[in-house]
Structure 1
């Protein structure tokens, strides 16, 4: 009996605890590829900012250069960076006055189905669609001046 290790944790078995964390990470959008893979969106290929989360081994892609007052972002869309460099979703917690937050890229990815009708996210999604257009996606009738 002394030669086996207990697999019980505070929430049942360790496997159940890790499965719960993995499910929660998925629900929050913490599904980014781990380093050394590039922090690019797998759907639109735009580069993002990748942060580790408090879910061990799970990373999230946050929209680059978009830092907004947390009270302007709907609940469950607010991500903050903790002092130790981890990204944390505030879920339904009311942010303290003066709190700034980030948004997960999947909320505004132009290649994913919108999760809601938040107008600000729609504008960012449209901007991401514009940014993801590559030179090789130009219309057939496009040409440089003087070439046609």
Structure 2
């Protein structure tokens, strides 16, 4: 048996199995660089940040910053001064605090987990963005023949 070089798009699991569960639970499963920062389900480009779990990344909605109290606990992400995304978990947000929205709760191709009206609107917006990328209109295309 020779040395086999294996490549994987999945990062190595954290050292502790409890950490690996947290990575999955928090959705820190985005492909790391050099892969493009796109959702594997809807192909929309997102903001990708490293997490405190070595080798694990999270996709956050680009240009979307919301009042922290509007997101449920464990879905509130902030970017630290070092550029690492940190999940606030159950910490009660300070008045006026803002946080980032994880893409997985507004991805149009994943099962919705949060029933807040603005989340539904953002999912609908993402669905329209994804359709523009992949579903060209049948009528009105120029004749190339």
Gaps of 5+ in 1: 1-14
Deviation at 1:116, TM superposition (A): 2.9
Shift in Å, 1:17? 4.9
Paired with 1:16 and 1:27, the residues of 2 have a C-alpha distance of: 13
How many residues align? The count is: 130
Q: Distance in 1 between matches of 2:74 and 2:92?
A: 10
Greater Rg, structure 1 or structure 2?
1
Divergent runs of 4+, >2 A: 15-18
User: Counterpart in 1 of 2:36?
Assistant: 38
Summarize the alignment of residues 18-33 of structure 1 with structure 2, pairs less than 5 Å apart: 18-33=16-31
1:143 pairs with 2:123? no
For normalisation by structure 2, the TM-score amounts to 0.82
Q: Is 1:114 the equivalent of 2:112? A: yes
1:105 corresponds to 2:103? yes
> Which residues of 2 match residues 1-148 of structure 1 at below 5 A?
17-134=15-132, 137-140=135-138, 142-143=139-140
Q: Which runs of 5+ in 2 are unaligned?
A: 1-12
Q: Distance in 1 between matches of 2:46 and 2:140?
A: 31
Aligned CA RMSD, in angstroms, stands at 2.0
The two structures have a TM-score, normalised by structure 1, of: 0.80
